[in-house]
Structure 1
Amino acid sequence: MLRILRHLLTPAWVLDRVFPAGVLAAIEQAVKASETRHRGELRFAVEAGLDLADLRQGVSARERAVEVFSQLRVWDTGENTGVLVYVQWLDRRVEIVADRGIAARVAQAEWEGICRQMELAFRGGRFEQGAVDAVKAVGDLLEKHFPARLDNPNELSDHPVLLR
């Protein structure tokens, strides 16, 4: 019940305090820099709270991340190399969802390690650094398995999304 109240009573604008324009710009720059090193496509999304229907169904951060992966069309890349870094702010959960081209080569445990590091940084109030470090770590994994080619198109927006 407490979780439901927290989600319903916390305004979406709370994200603007934690992820102001400067932090969003730093995350976007990190995504751009990362994508020069590999053929993956990164999206970064932050959501303050869930709606009542999701809360009543007990939707987990992972389930919501998969839904956002679809909504943002992260799956819509030529090589199936889309990756979503999803932050569920009120539950303090981070999830990484990788498209099937990447999931076949990168173990979920590697993504989990990045998620937990980011959560640790956030608990310490290091929001920008935690996000930028996570984007770099995702890029390192993608570079290992999907190094950049000469024809390395940017198929998805690099701008982080604040879901309201």
Structure 2
Amino acid sequence: MKRFLRHSFTTKSLLKKTFPKKTLESIELVIGESEKRHSAQVCFSAEASLSVGDLFRQKTSRERALEVFSLQRVWDTEDNSGVLLYLLLADKKIEIIADRGISRKVESGIWVEICKHIEENFKKGWFEKGIINGISEITEILETYFPRNGKPIENELSDAPTLL
């Protein structure tokens, strides 16, 4: 019941207040700079709440993140090197979904630790800082496992954050 109420009162308007245009522009710039340092693709999507149907089905933030990963075609990169940073605001849950090319090289525990760091910032009300710091941590991992090695920069996926 608590979760249902939380999702009922977490509106798209609140999401836009949490991530105003200036914040979204900052995140987009950070993603663009990140992608100059490695050959992977980074995306950020935030969603206010789940639908009533999803709540009745007890859908988790992880399950929804996997759906968003698919719907936004983050998997559709030449090297299978897409990473989605997903926020479900009503639950204050962050998820990182990495494509199979990355998952073969990076242990899932690393992503869990980054999510914990982001959530620590969220608890302090620092949403922009949390996301930007999280992208920086993701960038460090991707630089190690997906170095640019002189490859030309090909932006296969938009750097612009998506509010769902």
Q: TM-score with structure 2 length normalisation?
A: 0.97
CA distance in 2, matches of 1:8, 1:125: 20
Tell me the equivalent position of 2:132. Answer: 132
Shift of 1:8: 2.4
Identity among equivalent positions (%) equals 43
Amino acid in the other structure paired with 1:103: S
Tell me the equivalent position of 1:24. Answer: 24
Amino acid in the other structure paired with 1:58: Q
Number of residue-to-residue matches in the alignment: 163
CA distance in 2, matches of 1:157, 1:32: 9
Tell me the equivalent position of 2:162. Answer: 161
Residues 50-89 of structure 1: matches in 2 within 5 Å? 50-89=50-89
Asked whether the equivalents of residues 96 and 115 of structure 2 are also in contact (C-alpha less than 8 Å), the reply is yes
CA distance in 1, matches of 2:5, 2:60: 16
User: C-alpha root-mean-square deviation of aligned residues, in Å?
Assistant: 0.9
Tell me the equivalent position of 2:121. Answer: 121
Shift of 1:28: 0.5
- Structure 1: runs of 5 or more not aligned: none
Runs of 4+ aligned residues of structure 1 deviating over 6 Å after TM superposition are none
Deviation sequence 1:4-62 (CA, Å, 0-9, x none): 12212332110111100111111101100000000110110001100011100100010
Shift of 1:127: 1.3
Amino acid in the other structure paired with 1:17: K
Shift of 1:150: 2.7
Deviation sequence 1:69-100 (CA, Å, 0-9, x none): 00110000000000000001010100000000
Tell me the equivalent position of 1:151. Answer: 152
- Structure 2: runs of 5 or more not aligned: none
Shift of 1:131: 0.8
